[in-house]
Structure 1
Amino acid sequence: MVKLARAEGAPFFRDDETVPGLLARAAAERPDHVYMRANGEEITCASLAARVEHVAAGFAALGVKPGDRVAVMMGHHLDHVICFFAIMRAGAVLVPVNVAIKGPGLVYQIEHSAPSLIVADAEFSDVLAEPIRAAQAKGARADVVWRLREGETVLPAPGHALSQMSVADAAAAPVIAHDWKDLRIILYTSGTTGAPKGVQMSDRMVQATALGSIWLSDMQPGSVLHFWDPIYHVFGAEVLVLALMVPVTLHMVPRFSASKFWSEVKDAGATHIHFVGGVLQLLLKQPPNELDLTHGARIAWGGGCPRDVWGAFEERFGIEIREGYGMTETSSFSTINPGGSKAGKLGSIGTGVDYYAVEVVDELGNPCAPGVPGEIRVAEREPGVLTVGYYENAEATASALREGWLYTGDLAHVDADGFITYLGRKKDSLRRRGENISAWEVERVVNDHPEVAECALVGVVNEMGDEDLKIFVRRIEGSTLQGADLLAWSAERMARFQVPRFVRFIEEFRKTPTQRIQKQFLSNSIEDFDYDAESRGARAER
């Protein structure tokens, strides 16, 4: 397992190392190494660094200063990679935006982060129009750089063309004294009982996301990674940075495709694949194929692999599962099980990475005995690897960070050997196909429907063992609103992954004395629905 060179007992991170510094060093020490293959092009470390300099200079020419926030809403392509590093090179703070978000959720994120600049693919101009107006009305500059589609020459809305940034004078790139303490990313994660929270990630945290992945995946020089991971997620960012720490090559594909997955892996000569919850199940559902055991990859690393899927996946595809656990607040992985099913423990998320203390504790903060469920909490053993809090949200920060510990809201138990088994979430937050989903966000949109009196969202286990969404709805008096119509209306106002699968209409909700819906009394069965979007069928529409 690569640990990266360090003296015994020395820190895992250097105070003179930064993410922009990693790129500069890779370009100087291995200029001809192929960092990435994308759309038939090979991008060397030197080429990447040169392109980043041009775009960083272009951003600076538009008035972007160190500390300014720059929101990015772009698809999975090379320009996104360049902008990722150029924003950091300019000393600005990256605010990644999930390309599936629209409506109130997008307005909130742009308005709350108050960006100086927004960089976006032209195809998102319509969904960004209202968020841009809202942010500017609150005093944000929110200037826009558009990436045009091939062959386009006309901007979709006021702003600038990314192509102009790409030819800016690289010599004009600002001289920035980067530091490991610098705020590099504000990454919005799903809210639980409230709005999404902007996790503040320092430069060192961004480095730690990569280092944890390197340890978990046994990443070695010369490895090739099948790179489908969205860059607006922390696991996409960690892959970009780990390829600077270890001389590997990223083979970029536009998106995850279950049907094309193994042919893409084989064609790329990939040694490693990455997964999040739901991905392995989708691959297992594919028809048997001759590529199942001839794809060439040897390790799959990530988080969210159910115990029963673990063995089935390894047996069918001949690839070793490496399971970990974490969250954006803990620089992605805070625990890892690098031994896989051979040397580790099947179904376990492992033990704390070396720069974290990880405990399972009871309601009073006392460590739980082996086998006793409790909440996972994490503290840093090395400064800078844990978030300092949520951007402009002191209340959420105070709730999560207490006496040096981050309380994750996730349940687990630990065995006598210190290996942790993940049990689920305490929070009112759900997870579907690798996406964290705020029940509050979904409920807010559904409640806006003129025929909905109130609603509540819960997670249910579907036929694949993955989590799906079930919305309980109390209609206004006299309404005959149907599930299909409600979900079609919702799909226009929220991301696809946020749209519930099951709809159940009820007459009344059980509530607390303070009129909060008691979700614990709502059925998590997938048999008692009024509408199922997957089968487009009504069991008892009424």
Structure 2
Amino acid sequence: MTISHGRAEASAGRAVAIPEPADEMRADSAWTTFAATPLEYVATDDEQTTITEVLTRRADLTPDAVFVSFEGMKVTFGEFKHRAEQAGAALAYAGISRGDKVAVMLPNSLEFLDLWFGSALLGAVLVPINTGLRGAGLAHVLTHSDSALLVAEGELVAECEKVLDSGAGPRLRYARGAGSDWDCAHTWLRGSYQPAVPEAVTPGDVASILYTSGTTGPSKGVVNCHNAFAVAANEFCRRHVEIRSDDVLYTSLPLFHVNAQMLSVMGAMVSGRPLVLAPRFRASGILDDLRGHGATIFNYIGAMLTMIAKQPIREDDAANPARLAIGGAAPAQLWKEFERRFALSIVEIYGLTETATFCLGSPPADVRVGKVGRSVSWADVRIEASDGAEQNDGQPGEVVIRSKRDNVMFSGYYKDPEATARAMSGGWFHTGDRGRRDESGYFEFIDRIKDIIRRRGENISSFEVERVVNSHDAVTESAVVGVPSDLGEEDVLAVVVPANGSRIDPGELIDFCRERLGAYMVPRYVRVVDTLPRTATERIQKYILRNEARSEPMWDREAGA
């Protein structure tokens, strides 16, 4: 049963009316866009600050400028500050105060933003929950996080109730939309309350706990402070997109990940440029969405660029307002053709939830295909050998990071000092990623260390093999893993998902790989599947594929079938 402090009144109270969508047009373009305002930052790139201070400064400086556009609704910075204050008042009315955990299991929405910034105003801690999380993983986050309050999408309430024993998990529960008997989040958030008194939070105070993927055990809660959000946003806007007064940011990444939060939302806050928040990523519709909003910068991760590139070629592909795509894991063989086809530039960055989203980045004026850039302003990054010694340039090893400033890197894993100690061995954060640095200071990502395949005395990067396999027209995505070999060590298995309407001929795919990979890297086995197993944060669960290789049928090029 849900315990609450009573239902809020349905009156509008301090709620802010959302204006009707504006119909502004940029004079030199056919794309709907936003009125340009002078570019003025509200935080320097090296000061210590907080999410709430950035919000207050921005709302005071440009209250009438558009902050976010979501599904046709535009909210100015001034209006959003009122929305955050209203959410803070609703949270305080429910009994939330400094240090309390607020769990949010919502898709991209204005309410997600309201709860995030409303929590920050109170000094409460946001716990974003992946909307795809189910079962034991969901139970772990809801209970381990010590969340006092949960706001979930109505259709997800049943999943939460399945995993929560009586009395376990957040005692205050609200649902957005239909689908449950929980208190209505909209009514509660828009109730009439006394204004909440903002807490005097400090840059090092905890702002969020975000649970990373757990592939071999329970997921870990990454503890990030307020200042990390501002540092990431400044680094992103000032050095890696070099934001301009006519730029419009765009993200289709989920708000329950740090990328959308630290780079896109906080990027808009520190720079004052508007953000288009898409409900979700759609490869078939993203270009038209960019056109419709006049968006100039969009973020990508993983296979997004490959999926966009596999869409049917259109005559107007290059006729879009985007000037920059920024993210991680752009396929090297796709890179230049993607830039040419869509008339934009790709900028690679690299990082983790623990490292303020990114710790390596490419300067826009000197992007190098296949490289993820150099150390950002706040970070020391090096390559370590297995004995902990620093590797020479050109030699592979583990990517490790430490911060040159206070309150940027994560402060540890929530209630897991052992995991924190292992990750921070020797004072450096150990990523579990294998890479190398060249003599000019540019880094290259090779693979997750646990995903390196050892075959006939050679180390094979599954990441590199996947890049080639994914470039085949009939393949939507793939996962490459090592499976036991009769000769010892491992053989290479490619698990592939066919593109819509395509049929994959394993022999033809292997011939395709032979032309593009070293002979020792060419897969021996091919298995065709409808989908790949993933964690709640969309990482492919390769250990499942390795286990399934013992029982599932595979095409074997040495047997010819």
For the aligned pair, the TM-score class normalised by the smaller chain equals: 0.7 to 0.9
How do 1:320-335 and structure 2 match up within 5 A?
A: 320-335=345-360
> Displacement of 1:469 after TM fit?
7.4
Other-structure match for 1:168: 192
Partner secondary structure for residue 422 of structure 1: strand
Q: Work out the CA distance in 2 between the residues paired with 1:428 and 1:103.
A: 26
Question: In structure 2, do the counterparts of structure 1 residues 362 and 141 end up closer, same or farther at CA, with 3 Å as the change threshold?
Answer: same
How do 1:387-398 and structure 2 match up within 5 A?
A: 387-398=410-421
Partner secondary structure for residue 461 of structure 1: helix
> Displacement of 1:67 after TM fit?
0.5
Where does structure 1 lack aligned partners over 5 or more consecutive residues? 150-154, 431-457, 474-486, 509-522, 530-538
Other-structure match for 2:269: 244
| Aligned partners of 2:350 and 2:360 also within 8 Å | yes
- Cα RMSD for the two superposed structures: 3.3
> Displacement of 1:504 after TM fit?
7.3
Q: Work out the CA distance in 1 between the residues paired with 2:260 and 2:51.
A: 15
> Displacement of 1:409 after TM fit?
1.1
Query: Percent same amino acid at aligned positions?
Result: 28
> Displacement of 1:12 after TM fit?
3.5
Question: In structure 2, do the counterparts of structure 1 residues 91 and 469 end up closer, same or farther at CA, with 3 Å as the change threshold?
Answer: farther
How do 1:133-152 and structure 2 match up within 5 A?
A: 133=165, 136-137=167-168, 140-149=169-178
Other-structure match for 1:197: 220
Q: Work out the CA distance in 2 between the residues paired with 1:250 and 1:429.
A: 38
> Displacement of 1:159 after TM fit?
3.6
How do 1:497-508 and structure 2 match up within 5 A?
A: none
Question: In structure 2, do the counterparts of structure 1 residues 4 and 368 end up closer, same or farther at CA, with 3 Å as the change threshold?
Answer: farther
Instruction: Say which is worse superposed, 496-505 or 251-260, in terms of deviation.
Output: 496-505
> Displacement of 1:234 after TM fit?
0.8
Question: In structure 2, do the counterparts of structure 1 residues 188 and 143 end up closer, same or farther at CA, with 3 Å as the change threshold?
Answer: same
| Aligned partners of 2:42 and 2:57 also within 8 Å | no
Q: Which amino acid aligns with 1:85?
A: F
Could you report, residue by residue, the CA deviation over 1:490-519 in whole angstroms, capped at 9, with x for unpaired residues?
9999788768896975669xxxxxxxxxxx
> Displacement of 1:120 after TM fit?
1.1
Q: Which amino acid aligns with 1:148?
A: G
**Partner of residue 130 from structure 1, selected from 158, 162, 178:** 162
Could you report, residue by residue, the CA deviation over 1:273-309 in whole angstroms, capped at 9, with x for unpaired residues?
1110100000110010123100111011111112112
2:47 counterpart of 1:14: yes
Other-structure match for 2:311: 286
Other-structure match for 1:419: 442
> Displacement of 1:211 after TM fit?
2.2
Q: Work out the CA distance in 1 between the residues paired with 2:372 and 2:99.
A: 36
**Partner of residue 207 from structure 2, selected from 159, 168, 184:** 184
| Aligned partners of 1:145 and 1:159 also within 8 Å | yes
Q: Work out the CA distance in 2 between the residues paired with 1:472 and 1:364.
A: 27
| Aligned partners of 1:115 and 1:141 also within 8 Å | yes
Q: Work out the CA distance in 1 between the residues paired with 2:147 and 2:336.
A: 46
How do 1:292-303 and structure 2 match up within 5 A?
A: 292-303=317-328
Q: Work out the CA distance in 2 between the residues paired with 1:273 and 1:36.
A: 14
| Aligned partners of 1:227 and 1:273 also within 8 Å | yes
| Aligned partners of 1:94 and 1:185 also within 8 Å | yes
| Aligned partners of 1:220 and 1:246 also within 8 Å | no
Q: Work out the CA distance in 1 between the residues paired with 2:342 and 2:320.
A: 8
| Aligned partners of 1:277 and 1:303 also within 8 Å | yes
Q: Work out the CA distance in 1 between the residues paired with 2:261 and 2:537.
A: 21
Q: Which amino acid aligns with 1:305?
A: A
Q: Which amino acid aligns with 1:99?
A: T
> Displacement of 1:343 after TM fit?
2.2
| Aligned partners of 2:42 and 2:54 also within 8 Å | no
Other-structure match for 1:476: none
Other-structure match for 1:117: 149
Q: Work out the CA distance in 1 between the residues paired with 2:414 and 2:547.
A: 36
Partner secondary structure for residue 133 of structure 1: coil
- The total of aligned residue pairs comes to 460
Other-structure match for 1:72: 104
How do 1:305-320 and structure 2 match up within 5 A?
A: 305-320=330-345
TM-score for the superposition, normalised by structure 2: 0.75
Q: Which amino acid aligns with 1:287?
A: P
> Displacement of 1:130 after TM fit?
2.7
| Aligned partners of 1:272 and 1:297 also within 8 Å | yes
Question: In structure 2, do the counterparts of structure 1 residues 380 and 495 end up closer, same or farther at CA, with 3 Å as the change threshold?
Answer: closer
Q: Which amino acid aligns with 2:249?
A: L
Other-structure match for 1:156: 180
Q: Work out the CA distance in 2 between the residues paired with 1:472 and 1:118.
A: 42
**Partner of residue 284 from structure 2, selected from 248, 259, 264:** 259
> Displacement of 1:312 after TM fit?
2.0
**Partner of residue 250 from structure 2, selected from 205, 219, 226:** 226
Question: In structure 2, do the counterparts of structure 1 residues 429 and 467 end up closer, same or farther at CA, with 3 Å as the change threshold?
Answer: farther
Other-structure match for 2:25: none
2:377 counterpart of 1:371: no
2:479 counterpart of 1:468: yes
Q: Work out the CA distance in 2 between the residues paired with 1:470 and 1:425.
A: 11
Instruction: Say which is worse superposed, 371-380 or 302-311, in terms of deviation.
Output: 302-311
Question: In structure 2, do the counterparts of structure 1 residues 333 and 117 end up closer, same or farther at CA, with 3 Å as the change threshold?
Answer: same
| Aligned partners of 1:262 and 1:291 also within 8 Å | no
> Displacement of 1:157 after TM fit?
2.9
Q: Work out the CA distance in 2 between the residues paired with 1:124 and 1:490.
A: 23
Q: Work out the CA distance in 1 between the residues paired with 2:116 and 2:482.
A: 36
Question: In structure 2, do the counterparts of structure 1 residues 429 and 18 end up closer, same or farther at CA, with 3 Å as the change threshold?
Answer: farther
Question: In structure 2, do the counterparts of structure 1 residues 492 and 319 end up closer, same or farther at CA, with 3 Å as the change threshold?
Answer: closer
> Displacement of 1:271 after TM fit?
0.8
Where does structure 2 lack aligned partners over 5 or more consecutive residues? 1-38, 454-461, 472-476, 485-528
